[in-house]
Amino acid sequence: MSAKPDTGRFARFLLGAAGALVLLFLCTPILIVVPMSFSDRSALQFPPQGFSLRWYEAFLSTPVWIEALLTSLKLALCSSVIALVLGSLAAYGLARSRLKGGAWLDANFMAPMIIPHIISAIALYFAFAALGLLGTFTGLVIGHALVATPYVISVVGVAVRALDVRIEQSARSLGATWPRVLASIVIPNVYPSLLVAWIFAFIVSFDEVVITYFLAGSYVTIPKKMFNDLSQQLDPTITAVATILIVGSVLLMLVVARLSGGALGGIAHGDKR
């Protein structure tokens, strides 16, 4: 009789150990890059032999890096807002439509997430060259919004489908217009998912390098600057930049986890009612 509990505890131990090993494997790059960013040597070396903030100071005191950071933030903000608006409307339409080809449309909206970005970059390169948008900030925003929109559709679509459609139908039967239903019912109920979707879109745009490399022209973003420097020289400043990006991404993911938990809790609470 006592063998079953022992077997269960052993299985849980193996599962926990496997999870810990996978987490360690995923965090290995972080465990290497972050300590190297505090090195006092002029070359990349692991483990670091001394402690210094010189590479963070180099990043903050170099105009090219600061300009690249500002460009990345501006680009990510513009493209993520566009992706949020377009993706949310598309997600709502897909969730509420009764079209027979709804699944086919949904799959097509996910295409930019599945197709390698190099293919999308080549297609956008020739299209924007013909339209005169190649090397422009507008073209960059459109390209980044294109790859970020599927993430918005995925997140917002789940939230819209979880929202009871009868609430919207009741509002419409009482005379509420479709924009009023969206503003008064849909958005207040799915706003945590909207914020999560925007954060995902922002991160995707900020980290994008392939499409940026094809379309940016003279514009330099943080990922493009890092790629260029890595291909030319191993500047330890890159480790400081990478550490800052890691910290920022972790903080955003904590916000996403908090919002996702709140959204799921709200949905569960609504189901109980």
Model's pTM, two decimal places? 0.80
Domain total of the chain: 1
The reported pLDDT for the residue numbered 262 is 52
In a domain? residue 87: yes
pLDDT tens string 188-237 = 888 888 888 998 899 889 888 888 888 888 888 888 888 887 777 677 77
Taking all residues of the chain, what is their mean pLDDT, rounded to a whole number?
80
Q: Would you state the pLDDT for residue 81?
A: 94
- Intervals of the chain under pLDDT 70: 1-6, 43-46, 99-103, 233, 260-273
The percent of residues above 70 in pLDDT, for the chain, comes to: 87
pLDDT digits (tens, 9 = 90+) for 62-83: 888 899 999 999 999 999 999 9
Q: Is residue 117 part of a domain?
A: yes
Establish if 29 belongs to a structural domain. no
Please indicate, yes or no, if residue 6 is contained in any of the structural domains: no
Residue 30 lies in a domain: no
* Residue 46 lies inside a defined structural domain of this protein: no
Q: CATH code at 249?
A: 1.10.3720.10
Is residue 197 included in any domain, yes or no? yes
* pLDDT at residue 141 in the model: 93
Task: Tell me the three-class secondary structure of the chain, residue by residue.
Answer: CCHHHHHHHHHHHHHHHHHHHHHHHHHHHHHHHHHHCCCCCCCCCCCCCCCCCHHHHHHHHCHHHHHHHHHHHHHHHHHHHHHHHHHHHHHHHHHHCCCCCHHHHHHHHCHHHHCCHHHHHHHHHHHHHHHCCCCCHHHHHHHHHHHHHHHHHHHHHHHHHHCCHHHHHHHHHCCCCHHHHHHHHHHHHHHHHHHHHHHHHHHHHHHCCHHHHHHCCCCCCHHHHHHHHHHHCCCCHHHHHHHHHHHHHHHHHHHHHHHHHHHHHHHHHHHHC
pLDDT of residue 266: 45
Q: Is the residue at 36 inside a domain?
A: no
**Full residue range of the structural domain in which residue 236 is found:** 61-272
